[in-house]
Structures are given as structure tokens and as C-alpha cells.
Structure 1
Amino acid sequence: MNWAPGTQCVAKCDNRKAKPGELLYHKGDILTIVDTSTRKGFYAARHNTTEEEGLINSSNVREREALRVDPGLSLMPWFHGKISGPTAVGKLQPPQDGLFLVRESIRHPGDYVLCVSFSKEVFHYRVIYQDNKLTIDNQQYFYNLIDMIEFYSKTKGSLVTTLVTPRKKQGAKSAEQELSKTGWLLDITKLILGENIGEGEFGAVYRGEYMGQMVAVKTIKCDVTAQAFMQETAVMTKLQHKNLVRLLGVILHKGLHIVTELMTKGNLVNFLRTRGRSVVGPAQLLRFSLDVCEGMEYLESKKLVHRDLAARNVLISDDSVAKVSDFGLAKMDSKETDKAKLPVKWTAPEALKKEKFSTKSDVWSYGVLLWEIFAYGRQPYPKMSLEEVKEKVEAGYRMEAPEDCPPGAYAIMKLCWEQEPRKRPGFSKLREKLEQELSKTSPSSAAGSQEAAKTGLRS
């Protein structure tokens, strides 16, 4: 085995009695290769949770695989959609106690039916949807079907039997099994949930702790949304870069929980608005710009389009590093776009008009993000309606440079806003230009700005 530094591995067994210089770990722990070792068959590695470093035996670990982005990957492989009662009975043959599936109710639109095999009969339980919750008996209430199946797999409640074996829909693959097999499924019992730190469009985000590490937990209770996020999660398992928010894994419990590293200093917009010019100097602004550019250059190398690049989707870590977040959500399939949800002020003209998304449309958004950075978090196109923005930009209008913006930074913005996508530079070219800009700021001002931002961040 020849693993490069940065490779993530899953421990196949415990190493509780570590010899001097060896790393202590348990089965299922995630370890990152730091270096090859002089000892044959050993690697130097870092424990992803304890952050401790030491030697590991290569035969005791397996590489943590990325999840395949697969439309068949389902959080609810037992869900068969709109099928009739007799069809459901046919699918639950031969009879087997506890064999089950869930279908949409044809007779009662909006409701579901849980079909369970027991004593060679199939029992149909109507699942009523009321007040945003699901119930079979008006005693137990559930947020979603995942939650309900989890409960009745442990307790029979008012059913004839506990649920034992799911009858999978043809072509569906259990996301739980795939996550478990590849090492991305985390254990709910090791998660301590803390305070709510934000409400996303799809659910709440909490601060938490997972096996001693501070984490952010995005909770998604709606079944359909959770299923869509499964695709985002699959994309995230492929990505490892210092300027992308790192996925630690997924928990399936009463819905889907996506666990990422905790970015203690919040998003870039709020960060800049609350600190302002007295704390964050031009060199620090350039550092943030470069951080985002490097993250995007990596996404570009993976042929991934972000589609929603904006300062609100950039998070700041404890040590003042900017990292891109919220990437991968249905971004690999450029056809599925909800025009009503497009962030007009950040979206390139060709994406607004013809839904043509590409790395070059991300470059346009990056130009707007640069404007936000140098305007200290102000809303772009101030005092203009969305309709005005669309019309004027199409006609060639471009925003003026923000107050005190270095001319070199504004020149980069204008390159990003070329009307023709092919004339816009790629992210590697943009990185070179930003590095040149940064080298013009004196080393003392760059260091001082970094320090000032750090102190400001802790306030």
C-alpha cells in the first residue's frame, strides 16, 4: 500500500495497548496519514478526533472511500412511492414476519401506508399527516418516515409486530449501509448537541461535540430534502481541501444530520460587518479572497460547479481561515434549477438567462464576493431592485469599486465580470493575480492585519 499524506483511513480493529510511538485508536475511528514511516508497513498518522499523532500498522486500517454519487442511493430504500394495496401485497411475498414497505396512499393523498407482513397476512396501517407530523395511532408522533421506521424497528407499539426486514424498492440502495461500509456513518450516542447557532433554509444548525471535537450539525427533518442532501453529502465525501468546510460524517436518526468541522467565527458577511475597517485591514481582506480562490480552484479541478458562491456561504475558522461551504447540492446535474431561488445579484447573466452554469459562472459570482469583501459585507448593488440588476448588468453596467478598495483588487473584479464567459479567467489565474496583490502589501501590514483580525475575532 502506498498512501499519500492526507489520505483518510478507517481503523479495522482496536489498538488499545499502543506501544511507545504508536497511536491509540478504536475500531471505526478515522485516522489521517501524515507521512510514510521508516518502519516497514507503518505510517505516521493523526487521529481525526483526538488530534494525537503516532504510528499505525497499515494492515489495521482501510482507506476511507468516497461515496459514489448514485441516484439509487436512498435514505428510505423501503419507500415505494405511489403503488396500490394489492401491488404492495405482491411485493411482500413470500410471507415473512416483519417484512415491510411504505407507500403513498392513493385513496388519501398526502398520507402514507405502512404495509407489514405477519402470520402470512399483510397489514396496512394508514399514516396520517397532520400538523407537520406523522402518526398511525394518535399516540406516537414522528417528524418524518425515517423517524417512524426507526421507532417501529425497536418497538412494535400498536403494530402487530416490530419491523424487521425492509422490502427495498427496485434499484434503491440503502444509504445507511453505504455510509457504514465507506466509514462515513457516525454514532448518535457519541454526539453531544449544544446550542442552536443558525436556521438554514432546510433545518437548524447546532453547535456540538463529537468524541471530543467541536462540530457543527445541520439537521434535516424533511424526508424529501434529506434525500436531496444525500447527494450533496456524497459529493462532500470526495473533497478534501484546507479552504473547504470539512465533512466529518453523517448521522441517521430522526432524519439526517450532516456533521462538519465547527467554524467558530461564523460567516464572512457577519464577520466583516461586525469588525469593520479598524480591525480588518486590506492585507487580511486579500488573504480571505485568496483562501476562497484556492478552495474554488480545487472545486474547478474536480469539475464541480458551486452555483451559490457568496460571502454568506464562506465561513471563518478559529484561526481566521476562510472556507467555502454549502457546495455540492445537486450541482453535478446542471438541469435542475429552480429559477425562483437563484441569487440574482451573484448569478452570471448567462446562468440567469439560459441556465448555463459553469466554472466561469462561478468566477462571475466570485467577483461579486470580492466586492462584498472589500465593501466589508455590504449588500451588492446597493439600492437596486433585482429587476434593475438583471436589466442593467445585461446592458453592461458594473458596480463601482467599494470605498478605499485597492485598484488591483477592483481590476480583478472587473475581469470576473466579463460579459462573455470564455473571456473570464479561471481560478488558478485569479489566484496568481491575488498573490501578486498580496505581495505588494508590506509583510508587516499583512502580519499585523492577520493579528488584528484574530484579536477581533475572539471578541
Structure 2
Amino acid sequence: MAKMSWAAGTQCVAKGDHKKPKPGELLYRKGDILTIVDTTTKKGFYRARHNTTGEEGIINATNVREREALRVDPSLSLMPWFHGKISGPEAVSKLQPAEDGLFLVRESIRHPGDYVLCVSVSGEVIHYRVIYQDNKLTIDKTQYFYNLIDMIEFYSKNKGSIATTLLKPKQKQGTKSAELELSKNGWLLDIEKLTLGENIGEGEFGAVYEGVYMSQRVAVKTIKCDVTAQAFLQETTVMTKLQHKNLVRLLGVILHKGLHIVTELMTKGNLVNFLRTRGRSVVNSVQLLRFSLDVCEGMEYLESKKLVHRDLAARNVLISDDNVAKVSDFGLTKVDSKVSDKAKLPVKWTAPEALKKEKFSTKSDVWSYGILLWEIFSYGRQPYPKMSLQEVKDKVEQGYRMEAPEDCPPSVYSLMRVCWEQEPRKRPGFHKLREKLDREMEKLSPGSGSKYQDQTGS
């Protein structure tokens, strides 16, 4: 039964091929991702855009299913065949009934930190010790791997120097294969269709490359380390739920030599560098306000989904080809608000209650948004100029707040100040902030407020 009322922006997966479209219809193949653009006058038919070719045309709703978001599920694993610390005999009993190519990986009890690949072949189990050498893993000292995911991928395709290719993973109880879940929901992309271009940045966890995926320009975040990749799986899961014009869009993931997260490419880089390299002569205050509104709308959407960003700053806002600002890097985004990783907190952007008591909320995001407004209107200056982190912590706690940036409209500075109320409950939510910015926009250039004027008359 096809759901007959999809909103624009809904993503769908094609259930079969439609290779001979009539005039005006869209050509697609099974598994292609299509985005609904509009309804048509004919019931059950939609105007849609092909996510990879960019072409638009009519589709019949019965031929597609809605692309589902992934549930945040701690049992999703990139390595369901990894059983942790278990003994050899235990591994043998898990690989019963014997079946050629049935395998698991365990951590060695005798040599802690080393791994063992256990494979069933002709009724017995062979244990291959995986040696850790020069930051790489190897079984035979001829073939070297960055991580276990890599190694398993290689021996699933090549026998190499082991007795049989790996045919069937023995899943650890209580885990689900992330690969299977991603592919079922249409989020697993095909490495063959990706062409990697130049390195455009080093993230904390791996490089970011520019690339082309089926004729669309993309950014690819590569994460090689197994443990980190597993953590980023949660970020990716969160991103599958989010569709908004002011959030960087996830296209999907590729599992190959670790995890590759593929998003739309934002050609003009991050907001700090954008403002610093162009400056006042190029970017006027209407454009600054537009960026502020873009970010605010993206955050209002996150707020409506009860998600806290935790690391909102101009460096994590990216600019598209057509100068739209989009919030990125949901690396610290958590549905729950308790995490004790104080070392990583960006002090100058973090609200006092989050620094002291680790209380993160939409209201602590609002504080960070105030700092981000200051960054925007100072054309990308570092906040709290000439102050050390310790000074910032102490002085802000005592009530110190930054002065307005040069030439900043007083009304915008008063918005910053209300974002920096010491008590979280006194700060406005993003919805209120957006209404205020809309009004500012109206004043500066009547008729060019937010594209989404509130119909409630507020």
C-alpha cells in the first residue's frame, strides 16, 4: 500500500527499474534514490528529482518506497563478527555446526591486544594469529591492513595465504550487521560509483576528500580506525533522520577500508574562512544576516527534533555554491545530554552550565549561537580576542560579556546578549530567535525575509 501524501523533500528508494519512461516521466533503476519535489494533479503521482542524475520528472508512488531513517541502535555494528576476548575453545564451540568459511575474530587471551581470526574448514577450526606491526595488521607478513574491517573485506574476496575465503560471519549475539541495515534502507552507496578527488581537509579522525558520486559533487569523510568508525556510525544514524535545507545533507555511507561518510559538497568552505578571506568590502550586512538566519533555521529544525548539537561554531557551518549556510558536523550531537569528555569542549563557544556541570541542552546551543553571531558580525574574528581559555572561563562566570563587533547593528548585538543570559531558561529558543531575525531582515531589505514566513501572524 503506497503512502499517498509525501511532502516535498521526502526521499524515496525505487523498488524496480523504470528504464523506458514516457515523455515527462523520470528514468530510474531499482535502488536509485529519488527526492519528491511536488505533488501532481494526478493522485498517486509525484514530481521527483533523481538524487544522482539531478533530472526531474513524474513518478508513480507505487513504484517507490520511502527511504527510512535508521534507528539509533547500539547493537548496530560494523564488525558483527568480532567477539572480543574469548578463548580458543569458546571460539571453536561458537563455530559449530562446522561449515566451510564460517569465521569470527576474537581478541587473544594469551597475547592481550592481539587478534585471532578463527575459520572453520573441512570440519575443523583454524586459528590465525593477527600480528600488530608498524601500526598495521598482518597474518602472513605479506598482506598488511589498516584495520580489521579491511582485513575481513580482503579475505572475503581473496583466499590469500589462509585455508579458505571467508564466506559467512558468525555474528556475536546481540549485534546486527550495520552493512545489512544500511543497505536495506538505501543508505549504503557503491564504492565503484565513487571517484575520489583531492584532499580538502584533515578532520580529527581522518581525511576529508572532494569526490564525484554518480555525477554529483560530494565530500567524503574517511574514518580508518575501527573503534572511531563504530562511534561515527551513531553520527551517521542521526544524520539519516535529518532533512533540512540548512543542514549539510548525508547522501549515504560506503564501507570499504573503514567507513566513508558521503555528504553534499559545500564548495565555499567553512563560514570563518569565507568571511575572513572576503571581508567587509565583499560581504554586506544583509548577507551576514542571511547567514545568521540560515544557521538559525537549521538549528530550529534540530531543536524540533530534540537534538542538541554541542559544537555550534562558525567553523562548523559550511557555505554552498549559491551562498547558503548549512550546519555540519554533528560529531558531538547526542540525543542524551551526558558525556564526560571535557577535554574536547570548545571553551569559548560552550555555555557556562555545560562547562561546569556538563548540562547540554538546546539552551546551551543558543549560547553557542550567540558566539557564532559575534563571529559572523566581526567577519570571522576569534571570540574573546587576546584572552586565554582560563580567563574566558573565569570572567564569563563572573558576568563578563564581549563588546559588540565594529559596525554591528545594535539590534543584532542585543540578540547576542540575550543568548548569553547566565540562566539557561532566560535565553530564547531558536524559533523565537528566527522570528526576531526575520524582522531584522525585513527592516534591512523589505520583502526579503525568511522564505518561510510564519503563517501564524507572529
With normalisation by structure 2, the TM-score equals 0.95
Answer yes or no: is the 8 Å Cα contact 2:220–2:263 preserved in 1.
Answer: yes
Q: Is structure 2 residue 165 aligned with structure 1 residue 162?
A: yes
Q: Match of 2:97?
A: 94
Answer yes or no: is the 8 Å Cα contact 2:362–2:429 preserved in 1.
Answer: yes
Answer yes or no: is the 8 Å Cα contact 1:10–1:183 preserved in 2.
Answer: yes
> Partners in 2 of 1:288 and 1:436 — Cα distance?
15
> Partners in 2 of 1:83 and 1:140 — Cα distance?
25
Q: How many pairs were matched up?
A: 446
* Offset at residue 38 of structure 1 (A): 2.6
1:384-423 superposed matches below 5 A? 384-423=387-426
Identity of aligned residues (%): 84
Q: Is structure 2 residue 429 aligned with structure 1 residue 426?
A: yes
Q: Match of 1:203?
A: 206
The 3-state SS of whatever aligns with 1:249 is: strand
Answer yes or no: is the 8 Å Cα contact 1:269–1:377 preserved in 2.
Answer: yes
* Offset at residue 4 of structure 1 (A): 2.0
* Offset at residue 85 of structure 1 (A): 1.4
Q: Which residue identity is paired with 2:73?
A: D
> Partners in 2 of 1:168 and 1:335 — Cα distance?
30
Relative to structure 1, is the Cα distance of residues 333 and 134 closer, same or farther in structure 2, using a 3 angstrom cutoff? farther
* Offset at residue 132 of structure 1 (A): 1.8
Deviations 1:361-418 (A, max 9, x none): 0000000011111111111011111111111111111111111111111100000000
> Partners in 2 of 1:308 and 1:370 — Cα distance?
14
* Offset at residue 97 of structure 1 (A): 0.8
> Partners in 1 of 2:98 and 2:265 — Cα distance?
48
Supply the RMSD in Å over aligned alpha carbons: 1.3
Q: Match of 2:338?
A: 335
| Among candidates 216, 236, 239, match of residue 236 of structure 1 | 239
Deviations 1:165-206 (A, max 9, x none): 101111100000000000000010000100000000011000
Q: Which residue identity is paired with 2:169?
A: P
Q: Match of 1:119?
A: 122
| Among candidates 265, 268, 274, match of residue 265 of structure 1 | 268
1:117-266 superposed matches below 5 A? 117-266=120-269
Q: Which residue identity is paired with 1:186?
A: L
* Offset at residue 14 of structure 1 (A): 1.1
Answer yes or no: is the 8 Å Cα contact 2:338–2:360 preserved in 1.
Answer: no
> Partners in 2 of 1:258 and 1:175 — Cα distance?
14
Q: Which residue identity is paired with 2:173?
A: Q
Q: Match of 1:50?
A: 53
Answer yes or no: is the 8 Å Cα contact 2:34–2:51 preserved in 1.
Answer: yes
Q: Which residue identity is paired with 1:52?
A: E
Answer yes or no: is the 8 Å Cα contact 1:231–1:330 preserved in 2.
Answer: no
Answer yes or no: is the 8 Å Cα contact 2:14–2:63 preserved in 1.
Answer: yes
Relative to structure 1, is the Cα distance of residues 34 and 369 closer, same or farther in structure 2, using a 3 angstrom cutoff? same
Deviations 1:282-327 (A, max 9, x none): 1111100000000000000000000000000000000000000011
Q: Match of 1:325?
A: 328
> Partners in 2 of 1:287 and 1:321 — Cα distance?
8
Q: Which residue identity is paired with 2:443?
A: K
The 3-state SS of whatever aligns with 1:81 is: strand
Q: Match of 1:455?
A: none
Answer yes or no: is the 8 Å Cα contact 1:229–1:329 preserved in 2.
Answer: no
Q: Is structure 2 residue 115 aligned with structure 1 residue 84?
A: no
Q: Match of 2:454?
A: none
Q: Match of 1:279?
A: 282
> Partners in 2 of 1:145 and 1:333 — Cα distance?
30
* Offset at residue 275 of structure 1 (A): 0.3
Q: Which moved more, 1:392-401 or 1:434-443?
A: 434-443
Q: Match of 1:298?
A: 301
Q: Match of 1:438?
A: 441
> Partners in 2 of 1:390 and 1:130 — Cα distance?
43
> Partners in 1 of 2:438 and 2:42 — Cα distance?
40
> Partners in 1 of 2:263 and 2:437 — Cα distance?
28
> Partners in 2 of 1:300 and 1:43 — Cα distance?
30
* Offset at residue 443 of structure 1 (A): 5.0
Q: Match of 1:65?
A: 68
Q: Match of 1:454?
A: none
Answer yes or no: is the 8 Å Cα contact 2:307–2:333 preserved in 1.
Answer: no
> Partners in 2 of 1:377 and 1:410 — Cα distance?
16
Q: Match of 1:74?
A: 77
With normalisation by structure 1, the TM-score equals 0.95
> Partners in 1 of 2:244 and 2:363 — Cα distance?
21
> Partners in 2 of 1:322 and 1:386 — Cα distance?
28
Q: Match of 2:370?
A: 367
Deviations 1:320-365 (A, max 9, x none): 0000001154512322231001001100000001110000000000
Q: Is structure 2 residue 318 aligned with structure 1 residue 315?
A: yes
| Among candidates 5, 8, 12, match of residue 9 of structure 1 | 12
Q: Is structure 2 residue 40 aligned with structure 1 residue 37?
A: yes
> Partners in 2 of 1:239 and 1:303 — Cα distance?
12
Unaligned runs of 5+ in 2: 450-458
> Partners in 2 of 1:38 and 1:439 — Cα distance?
35
> Partners in 2 of 1:36 and 1:440 — Cα distance?
35
